[in-house]
Amino acid sequence: MDLSIQDITYCKGVGTRRADILRKELGVHTALDLLLQYPYKYIDRSRFIYIHEIDNEDTYVQIKGTITEYHTIGIGKGQRLVAIFSDGQNTIELVWFKGIQYLKLQLQTPYLLFGKPSAFNHQYNFVHPELTPLSKVTPEMTSGLEPYYNTTERMKNAGLNSKAMRSIIFHLKEELKQGLPETLDMDLVHQYHLMGRAAAIYNVHFPKDTPTMQQARARLKFEELFYIQLQLLRQMKRREQNAGYRMPIVGKFFHQFYRECLPFALTGAQKRVIHEIQDDMRSGKQMNRLLQGDVGSGKTLVALLCALLAADNGFQTCIMAPTEILAQQHMQTIGELLKQTDVQVGLLTGSTSRKQRESLHAALRSGQIHILIGTHALLEDEVQFANLGLCIIDEQHRFGVAQRSRLWYKNERPPHILVMTATPIPRTLAMTVYGDLQVSVIDELPPGRKPVQTLHYTLMRRQAIYQFLQQQIDKGQQVYVVYPLIKENEKLDLQDLQNGFEEICQQFPQYRVSMVHGQMKSAEKDEQMQLFQRGETQILVATTVIEVGVNVPNASVMVIMNAERFGLSQLHQLRGRVGRGAEQSYCILLTRVELSKDTRQRMDIMVATNDGFRIAEADLQLRGPGDLEGTQQSGLPFDLKIASLATDGQLLQVARQAAMDILDKDPLLEHERHRLYKQHLDLLRMTAVNWSDIS
Ligand code: ADP
Ligand code: MG
């Protein structure tokens, strides 16, 4: 029977109740769906060890031996059963806390013990190991790798644990041998030395050894990444066929600004990316480009020069920022830079008054405004342009593909899109999450910057740090002190911030201190920020609201309290707030004494490097792509079930190339021999859509 239409209800070991749970919890409807639930790990059951070989708590092991004695200790709830297990040479303790009454241990019977050792009082023991009399151990049980499956809480409650899943899937083994239709062209399978699909699915569930399992997984990962790339690149090709506005002229606005207003020479990297963007803008095709550049690399100036190019060709530009503060700051910077020119700039945010809004709308429609800076507010339908030609989106990782596409309808043809991000994105993410964009990178900081020195101390050293701050402020510098603020315990955090603020005020009675946090009214926040910006306050105590955009070159120290509660990219963003002036700057990370291994690594990386790309890579490795792997958050066209963006970078590159080769010859997948691809993409898209309907 065709596995793709075989209802799971009738699979052996399932039945109506479990089928219902499988559908709801995993979206599994058919036998094939079930086979597409890949194991997340394997345990090697073909190896047996001796007790003296146990050397860690991380791996499951198997030992053959007998029980030499056992007894129960304690009574009632605290009761436990302790047995001594011997492999003939050494002994080890086995402990049970639960189900003792069901345990029928036999002395002298040879057993196979299976479990994960734990260390207790400097000795290893096993808690709740699996014991099977050797006479009942079948060759199947110990023939190779045992797969483990993800399950949910509800599944476990219904007895659908990993073992049950293994057994249900095991019953499909014979049927699977009859084969499954391919989802990749045979040429491709051969070209990349891939395992066939049926064999791969067979071996991912029932591998005889590690190399076979790895080959099977590689094939399935390839397929997954290949289809994601095919989808993204097809979108890109499709859009490349979109006519875009042609902007060939470099005219008065650009030249005048470049000659008379440019405050400094552009860096080589700035020049290079402007050329890349300019090439797109005059190509006649619609640009979709991602501009990556570390904090402080000078993206604003690049954005402005591109907007001037658009203006020279009779087009308007909108620059969109994720927060009000950032939009205002862009307005200030750009307004200042354009002071001596005839270029008109407008600002539109959530707090723009109705009256201002109306006159702004009119000025936009008449074409009087060349550049509109704003927040999400400018996505609204009533915001209409005379001739929008370029959209620049700053700090894009905060909004999704759907929002991006709303900008397309603001003119007859979609405007050019330039997405700017200050969080450098690891290559794998750039190729997937932004896989439909061309990429430009500013990999050079403006000259004369002194790298920020990063130091890590425990909170116990606070007093010494305060002394250091004192010295810095005495020299005329300013200081940020940042406290964490996360949603879950906002109240507690605010209290921390308040206490911190008071402590700082007490420590530095001769100085003035500003405070900002997300709960303040926007006017109040602005006032506090401005006091700091003008140098009237010397210390700014804040939550992460200052993470993006704030620019105070005279501030040279960033103190981050409870730095263990911040992610790497957040720490890096915060650090980017200092090091903007001529003085040596410092970033001081203060943490608890006891740190988890992960946290320690995060702090070490921060201390070791200022390179945003290295930090982004490390972040991906440590944290895993996490949320980014869910389609909804990330804009990935399909969920990843087996491939990982953290570890499969190379395979991703190969898969992207394979997809590119196909689309280069057949951009819209119209050839008969690519019908398979087209059909499979449709199928994947359908399931992706169904999923979002359900959840
Ligand atoms: P980001 O890329 O983080 O948005 P900004 O555009 O805010 O960076 O630039 C950071 C600082 O560097 C600003 O103060 C800006 O004026 C300055 N800057 C930008 N380009 C140059 C340059 N070529 N030479 C010197 N300073 C520059
Ligand atoms: Mg910026």
Cβ atoms within 10 Å of 446's Cβ, excluding its own: 16
The two tokens of residue 663 are 């689309």
- Same domain assignment for residues 309 and 425: yes
Cβ atoms within 10 Å of 548's Cβ, excluding its own: 22
- Same domain assignment for residues 470 and 597: yes
The two tokens of residue 210 are 């590690």
What Cα–Cα distance (Å) separates residue 404 from each residue in 88, 111, 309? 68, 62, 22
Q: What are phi and psi of 63, to 5 degrees?
A: -135, 140
Atom 17, ligand 1: which residue's CA is nearest?
Answer: 298
On whether the CB atoms of residues 195 and 201 are closer than 8 A, the answer is no
- State how far the Cα of 49 lies from the Cα of 504, in Å rounded to an integer: 59
When divided into structural domains, the chain yields a total of 4
Report CA(26)–ligand 2 centroid distance (Å). Answer: 41
- Same domain assignment for residues 312 and 355: yes
Q: Is residue 312 part of a domain?
A: yes
Helices and strands in the chain, H and E counts: 24, 22
What Cα–Cα distance (Å) separates residue 69 from each residue in 107, 124, 179, 186? 7, 18, 51, 60
Closest CA to 233 of 546, 566, 664, 524: 664
- Same domain assignment for residues 409 and 463: no
**Per-residue pLDDT at 84:** 96
Q: Any idea which residue has 């999923």 for tokens?
A: 691
On whether the CB atoms of residues 91 and 51 are closer than 8 A, the answer is yes
Ligand nearest to the CA of 551: 1
- Positions in the chain short of pLDDT 50: 627-633, 689-695
What Cα–Cα distance (Å) separates residue 564 from each residue in 82, 211, 465, 509, 608? 40, 39, 17, 29, 16
Lateral strand order in the sheet of 555-560: 453-458, 586-591, 555-560, 478-482, 539-542, 513-516
- Same domain assignment for residues 292 and 407: yes
- Same domain assignment for residues 605 and 478: yes
The domain spanning residue 289 has which CATH number?
Answer: 3.40.50.300
- Same domain assignment for residues 64 and 121: yes
- Same domain assignment for residues 33 and 63: no
Using the CB atoms, write b or e for 233-262: b if 16+ within 10 Å. bbebbebeeeebbebeeeeebbebbeeeee
Which atom of ligand 1 sits closest to the CA of residue 302? Answer: 6
**Per-residue pLDDT at 505:** 95
* Ligand 1 probe mutation, 264, 320, 421, 550, most atoms within 8 A of CB: 264
Report CA(29)–ligand 2 centroid distance (Å). Answer: 47
Q: Is residue 16 part of a domain?
A: yes
Q: Is residue 652 part of a domain?
A: no
The two tokens of residue 195 are 């395992």
Atom 16, ligand 1: which residue's CA is nearest?
Answer: 298
Residue 692 exposed, middle or buried by CB count within 10 Å (0-12, 13-18, 19+): exposed
Q: Is residue 479 part of a domain?
A: yes
Q: What are phi and psi of 677, to 5 degrees?
A: -65, -45
Report CA(573)–ligand 1 centroid distance (Å). Answer: 15
On whether the CB atoms of residues 217 and 204 are closer than 8 A, the answer is yes
Q: Is residue 219 part of a domain?
A: no
Instruction: Answer with the one of 107, 122, 142 that is the final residue of a domain.
Output: 142
- Same domain assignment for residues 309 and 353: yes
The two tokens of residue 60 are 């499951």
Q: Which helix (H) or strand (E) element contains residue 539?
A: strand 539-542
Which atom of ligand 1 sits closest to the CA of residue 265? Answer: 23
The domain spanning residue 85 has which CATH number?
Answer: 2.40.50.140
**Per-residue pLDDT at 591:** 95
- Same domain assignment for residues 127 and 260: no
On whether the CB atoms of residues 34 and 167 are closer than 8 A, the answer is no
**Per-residue pLDDT at 277:** 97
Q: Is residue 82 part of a domain?
A: yes
Q: Is residue 542 part of a domain?
A: yes
**Per-residue pLDDT at 402:** 62
Report CA(297)–ligand 1 centroid distance (Å). Answer: 6
Got the DSSP string for 172-239? THHHHHT----SS-HHHHHHTTPPPHHHHHHHHHS-SSHHHHHHHHHHHHHHHHHHHHHHHHHHHHHH
Q: Any idea which residue has 């491709």 for tokens?
A: 188
Instruction: Answer with the one of 577, 609, 641 that is the final residue of a domain.
Output: 609
- Same domain assignment for residues 400 and 529: no
- Same domain assignment for residues 458 and 433: no
What Cα–Cα distance (Å) separates residue 3 from each residue in 20, 603, 695? 18, 50, 25
- State how far the Cα of 151 lies from the Cα of 160, in Å rounded to an integer: 7
Q: Is residue 601 part of a domain?
A: yes
Residue pLDDT, tens place only, 234-272: 888 887 777 889 999 999 999 999 999 999 999 999 999
What Cα–Cα distance (Å) separates residue 184 from each residue in 227, 280, 676? 10, 34, 7
Q: Which helix (H) or strand (E) element contains residue 623?
A: helix 612-623
Ligand 1 pocket at CB < 6 A = 264, 266-267, 270, 293, 295-301, 422, 446, 551, 580
Instruction: Answer with the one of 111, 142, 173 that is the final residue of a domain.
Output: 142
Show the domain range for 120: 47-142
